[in-house]
């Protein structure tokens, strides 16, 4: 994954957490380039595995719905290794 895509993915995930997964708030933050401060302070559990809307493996079907989720979480048990 190119570095810029990795950074964008981290921003999407952090904004999602910061805005409690409120689609409109996340969208407006990205669109208006706001709420970007302190994103590195958001603590995200390293055992959480997810797919963001910019990832290659994000389902095409979801991209076509109204307000597709920015983040999809995979079912990973605490302590299980993420592959």
C-alpha 6: how far from chain center = 11
Q: What pTM value is reported for the model?
A: 0.78
First to last CA, the chain: 15
pLDDT of 52: 93
In 1-83, the DSSP E strands lie at 50-52, 71-73
pLDDT value at 58 more than 90: yes
- Cβ atoms of 16 and 70 closer than 8 Å: yes
The percentage of the chain sitting over the pLDDT mark of 70, rounded to a whole number, equals 84
């Amino acid at each position: 994954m190119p570095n810029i895509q990795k950074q964008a993915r981290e921003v999407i995930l952090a904004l999602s957490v910061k805005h409690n997964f409120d689609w409109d708030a996340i969208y407006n933050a990205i669109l208006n380039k706001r709420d970007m401060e302190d994103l590195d302070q958001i603590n995200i559990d390293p055992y959480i595995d997810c797919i963001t809307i910019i990832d290659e493996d994000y389902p095409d079907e979801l991209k076509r719905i109204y307000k597709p989720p920015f983040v999809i979480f995979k079912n990973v048990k605490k302590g299980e290794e993420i592959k």
